[in-house]
Amino acid sequence: MFLAQEAIRTKRDGKPLSEEQIQAFVQGITDESVSEGQIAAMAMAIYFQGMNEQEKATLTLSMRDSGEVLNWQQLDLGGPVLDKHSTGGVGDVVSLMLGPIVAACGGFVPMISGRGLGHTGGTLDKFDAINGYQTKPDNERFARTVKEAGVAIIGQTGQLAPADQRFYATRDITATVESVPLITASILAKKLAEGLDGLVLDVKTGSGAFMAEYERAVELARSLTSVANRVGVKTSALITDMNQPLASAAGNAIEVKLAIDYLTGRHRDPRLHVVTHALAVEMLLQGGLCRTHEQAAERVEQVLVSGAAAERFAKMVSLLGGPTDLLERPEQHLAKAKIIKPLTLADSGLPQQGWVNAIDTRAVGMAVVALGGGRRIASDPLNYAVGLTDLAGIGCKAEADLVLATIHADSEDDWQQAAATLTEAYRIGAEAAPEQPVIYERMGD
């Protein structure tokens, strides 16, 4: 007979858990025969004692199999099922372009995304900013959208990896969220439940990242790729920079507009383009849609220039209940803030000579949260219109008329509060900071 306390004792004492112990513990999480106190004790034991590769793989598969695992074979898609996961950041709007790009290249992307919490923005919140878009469609509409548009970006259902939802809720209140084995299993359980042929991971590092220290980001990327490949899903990871916002904008409706501009070619932020393009190339290679890096890069450029990627985005939005003319008339369908005005360097009181040489990216994200564009707790309502545009990046010359950000606010008080937060977030130095790469390292395979 399985006793949860004996499994906890095993891990507490630094011994590896057996496959049977892990499977039974996860089953107990799912059917609630394991108590919240026991979940907390196991999470703490794993936090301090860690897990070996086999344990992590077993935990991942057990949590994946605690609910529904999607099967795409009956739809005869005619291409690989692919997805990506980002550990989150500020101005990370990549998913909105990446899914349609890969779809236009012949992949199928059933991207199940989450909401923002803390300083990071959530992909699902961005799509909720689109009038009519259904982020929780029924299974039939979800499957039809994947088949016809090649991409559907929706929210997690209760049927996918339900054990993870209960496990994570306990980790969140017991200071065990940062455990690499538990992060690995949590991320991969949900992604593998999508029935994937290939997966690409974007692991952020820097002042706005969940794993701020580079070494911890490497540890997480290595764990994720090792476990995913071990259980049979071709996976690679890019470690990317989050020492400044990835894009020049942050906010929900604001980032949707940014994605539309990117896909239609109106404007592409250079750093955002580097990461989006690189992840798209990785997905095409993982899915076997291209043989070489050069072929994949050329294919990505083709679908952007031809407008094929933009067409996939438009089709996905339409099939999931959104407007049919979002690309042509985004201003008619996306909320606009009551106050939109810039914060210049002269207004901020910061030095007006030198260069922007550091940004507290987490603080920039929290400025969006304070405006109403993010959540302090999961139940907080969102104001989709607010946020930041024209964000100055590291390396900008410090002159009086330099715009640190254009603040989109609901009131003058909110604008002033955001301005104060941004002023604290930006550092001006006499010398320009050394240029940092956008992509630090590739891992996997």
At 116 the pLDDT is 62
- Identify the pLDDT of residue 289: 97
Nearest to 230 by CA among 17, 348, 60, 421: 60
Give the pLDDT band of residue 120 (cuts 50, 70, 90): confident
The CATH classification number of 73-331 equals 3.40.1030.10
133, 323 Cβ separation under 8 angstroms: no
- The single residue of 11, 191, 268, 315 carrying the catalytic annotation is 191
Choosing from 119, 126, 171, 362, the catalytic residue is 171
Marked catalytic residue, from 135, 179, 186, 406 = 186
pLDDT digits (tens, 9 = 90+) for 291-318: 999 999 999 999 999 999 999 999 999 9
Active site residue 85: yes
Choice among 65, 83, 197, 360 that is catalytic: 83
* pLDDT given at position 34: 96
Helical ranges in 292-402 per DSSP H: 293-306, 308-319, 330-333, 345-348, 361-368
Bigger pLDDT: 380 vs 429: 429
234 annotated active-site: no
Provide the percentage of residues in the chain whose pLDDT is more than 90: 84
Our answer to whether residue 83 is catalytic in this structure is yes
- Let me know if 171 is a catalytic residue: yes
Q: What is the DSSP letter of 88?
A: -
pLDDT at 375: 75
For the chain, domain boundaries: 4-50, 73-331, 336-429
Active-site entry in 190, 234, 299, 408: 190
Given 30, 66, 86, 361, the catalytic residue: 86
Point out the catalytic residue in the list 11, 56, 64, 84: 84
Q: Is residue 123 scored above 90 in pLDDT?
A: no
Catalytic, 62? Answer no
SS3 of 112, please? strand
Mean pLDDT of the region 205-225: 94
Domain 336-429 has CATH 3.60.15.10: no
**Residue 23 reports pLDDT greater than 80:** yes
State residue 158's pLDDT score: 66
Verify whether residue 190 is a known catalytic residue: yes
Judge whether 86 counts as a catalytic residue.
Answer: yes
Among residues 11, 85, 312, 333, which one is catalytic? Answer: 85
The CATH number of the domain covering residues in 4-50: 1.20.970.10
Instruction: Check whether 434 has a pLDDT greater than 80.
Output: yes
Q: How confident is the model over 393-418, as a mean pLDDT? A: 96
User: What pLDDT, in 10s, does the model give residues 279-290?
Assistant: 999 999 999 999
Query: What local confidence, expressed as pLDDT, does residue 109 receive?
Result: 97
pLDDT in tens, 37-95: 999 999 999 999 999 999 999 999 999 999 999 999 889 899 999 999 999 889 999 99
Tokens of 248: 């020049």
Closest CA to 126 of 109, 138, 113: 113
From 123, 135, 207, 236, the catalytic residue = 123
Question: Which pLDDT band, with edges at 50, 70 and 90, does 168 fall under?
Answer: confident
Q: What is the pLDDT of residue 117?
A: 62
